[in-house]
Chain A
Amino acid sequence: MPLINKLILGTVQMGIPYGVNNKAGQIPESESLNILRLARESGIDTLDSAEAYGSAHQIIGGYNRENQKKPFNVITKISGGINNHTVEEKLQTFLRELHLEKLDGLMFHSFGAYQEHLHLMDRLSLMKEKGVFRQLGVSVYNNEEIATLIDDDRVDFVQLPFNLLDNISQRGEMIERAKEKRKAIHTRSTFLQGLFFMETTSKHRITEALAPQLLRIRELALEESVSINTLALGYCLTQENIDNVLIGVDSVTQLKKNLEAASFVLSKDTMNSINSLIVKNKALLNPSLWG
């Protein structure tokens, strides 16, 4: 299978202002449609969305309505207001918005959200059997959360952060355990919020703390004669145990760059060098703690 098929395209930037500056952040609808068209033609068939992503559902739905022969599969997430009585209606609303007959995936935004909705799991399993959605997933932050989830047979996939620094040394063993339990593995945070592209001389607390590792990443990219972007994406896509890799783009140009990067296969040596990059302080790898 070509590696491009592993890519899942995020849609948060299409639905709400999400760029570096709030104001400039939202992609114009026409550009969103161009991105979706190119993605679909290039072999990406699944989108990641959420109820909380503003008008993202409507934009995807607009595309799917015009392209009924080749619509996008969609993984989406619920933000609130669900109980045993309302969840079915909520998912039917999603299907209408997305112009789909079946959701590819329904995902909990967090391990906490999964725990708070355990009482809904039987109902959700029933809806899966009825064909409302194909797979149930949970977005997680740490390995302890994955360890709990792999024992729940109702969970089909987990989505975890994974990248050049939050790498096999941190995640490999847990990913293998999850695979043994036949969970699909989706990863996000491929570029660690742009950290790999930042100058190590910048006065950012995190780049200072991670300077040795970030410099090593630069060296490895030079040795392979590829961009850091390619190295970062290639590292995730080349992992056999990773089924899907989530990326987000702001423009058609960025998507093109990532599509080119996606066909690059990293050498064993480079993979091993990346695997040996170790970050002891795990808090440095969690952007929500950067402040």
Chain B
Amino acid sequence: MGLNTLLITQARTGSTRLPGKVLKIILGKTLLQIHLERLSKCKLVDAILVATTSSPDDNVIYKNAIEWGYYSFAGSEDDVLDRFYQAALPHSPTWVVRVTSDCPLIDPALVDKVVKFSIEKNADYCSNTLLEHYPDGQDIEVFKFEALSKAWKLADKKSEREHVTPFIRNNSDFKGGQNFAAVNFPCEKNYSHIRMTVDEQKDLDLITRLTEAKGLDKSWLDYTNYIIDHDLLAINKDITRNEGLLKSLSKEE
């Protein structure tokens, strides 16, 4: 019997802009631990798995995850689609939830909402990022394991292997395709100018300010409002969202 919902978070120490970012420490905890402890509060997630790489540098992530009681998997560095598929396969989940560990303040209640919405809509793919209206750092994708398997079999472009979901997204009815039924999880307002992800030192500065003021267990909206009310936007406003994906796309052009 497989799991109903398996959450997989991808994590690695390598990062061109901020090496070792997920192991940076705020309030006595690594960003990875903060991320995982917040996700542990999800009610509609049956198990959490950390998918890292088999590079020796990432062994520390692999081991910590196990010690903290999460499933852990070390797989391909470059073919992240394969890493995800191989990580999920032994658990035979019905639904896979994908987040990334450079989002320490991901909101467990928001994850639950997107999961619930996906199941209600019976969508192949559902995300609050089809329209990028949530703050960067609250990115959640939920898809059927069947959809992941299909992508794993069919995707052959580099950009569709280096990242997990472009193949599903590009071939979904949301983008005019036919292979997958996709729905956006909407946001009431557009908060896309807010960043609470960690790609650069400036992002880490913002997260440090934010968590020193508000602690580690607030909702995405509480953090967002604090950023707006205290004018913290200027700290990290000029950073491009999803630079990694944009880079692998530009190489293909």
Interface residue A110 (Cβ < 8 Å from any Cβ of B): yes
Q: Pick from B20, B45, B63, B71: contact of A18, CB below 8 A.
A: B63
* Known contacts A22-B59, A50-B69, A80-B48: A288-B64 contact under CB 8 Å: yes
Q: Is B232 an interface residue (CB 8 A)?
A: no
Interface contact A79-B59, CB-CB below 8 Å: no
| Chain B interfacial positions (CB closer than 8 Å to A) | 3-4, 20, 23-25, 28-30, 33, 37, 40-41, 45-48, 54, 56, 59-60, 62-64, 66-72, 74
Interchain CB contact under 8 A, A290 and B66: no
| Choice from B40, B56, B59, B70 contacting A52 with Cβ under 8 Å | B70
Q: Which residues of B contact A291 (CB under 8 A)?
A: 20, 23-25, 30, 60
Question: What 18 additional pairs, Cβ within 8 angstroms, besides A21-B59, A289-B29, A291-B24?
Answer: A12-B66, A16-B66, A22-B56, A23-B54, A50-B66, A50-B69, A52-B66, A52-B69, A52-B70, A53-B66, A80-B45, A108-B69, A112-B37, A113-B40, A289-B28, A291-B23, A291-B25, A291-B30
Residues of A within 8 A of B60 (CB): 290-291
Chain B residues lying within 8 Å of A113, measured Cβ to Cβ, are 40, 69
A38 within 8 A of partner (CB): no
Enumerate chain A residues within 8 angstroms of B46, measured Cβ to Cβ: 80-81
A contacts, CB < 8 Å to B? 12, 16-18, 20-23, 50, 52-53, 77, 79-81, 108-110, 112-113, 116, 283, 288-291
Residue on A nearest B69 in the bound complex, by CB:
A109
Given contacts A22-B56, A113-B40, contact A289 B25 (CB under 8 A): yes
Q: What are 20 A-B contacts with C-beta separation under 8 Å?
A: A12-B66, A17-B74, A21-B56, A52-B66, A52-B71, A80-B46, A80-B48, A81-B4, A81-B47, A109-B67, A110-B69, A112-B37, A113-B40, A116-B41, A288-B68, A289-B25, A289-B28, A289-B29, A291-B20, A291-B24
Contact for A79 among B23, B25, B28, B71, CB less than 8 A: B71
Chain B interface mostly: mixed
A109 x B56 contact (CB < 8 A): no
- Give the distance in Å from the alpha carbon of A277 to the alpha carbon of B4 in the complex: 49
Which residues of B are found within 8 Å of A288, using beta-carbon distances? 30, 33, 64, 67-68
Interface centre among A12, A20, A81 (most CB of B within 10 A): A81
A23 and B55 CA atoms in complex are apart in Å by 10
Q: What chain A residues lie within 8 Å of B33 (beta carbons)?
A: 288
Partner of A116, one of B23, B40, B63, B64: B40
Determine the chain A residues whose CB is within 8 A of the CB of B72 once the complex forms: 16, 52
Instruction: Find out whether the CB atom of A22 lies under 8 angstroms from the CB atom of B67.
Output: no
CB distance from B111 to the nearest CB of A (A): 14
Q: Which residues on the B side are within 8 Å of A109 (C-beta)? A: 67-69
Whether B3 contacts A22 by the Cβ 8 Å rule is no
In the assembled complex, the CB of B70 is this many whole angstroms from the nearest CB of chain A, namely 7
Q: What residues on A are CB-neighbors of B71 within 8 Å?
A: 52, 79-80
**Cα-based distance from A159 to B150 in the complex (angstroms):** 44
**Which of chain B's residues have a CB closer than 8 A to the CB of A80?**
3, 45-48, 71
Question: Complex: how many Å from CA A21 to CA B60?
Answer: 10
Contacts of A81 in B (CB 8 A): 3-4, 46-47
How many angstroms between the C-alpha atoms of A73 and B33 in the bound complex? 31
Q: Give the 6 A-B residue pairs with the shortest CB-CB distance, closest first.
A: A109-B69, A80-B47, A291-B23, A81-B46, A288-B64, A22-B74
Give chain B nearest CB distance to A17 CB in angstroms: 7
Bound-complex Cα distance A151 to B72 (A) = 33
- Residues in B with CB closer than 8 Å to A22 are 54, 56, 59, 62, 74
Q: How far is the CA of A219 from the CA of B74 in the complex (A)?
A: 39
Contacts A20-B59, A283-B28 given; indicate if A79 touches B40 (C-beta within 8 A).
Answer: no
B72 and chain A: residue at smallest CB distance: A52
Interchain nearest-CB distance for B81 vs A (Å) = 20
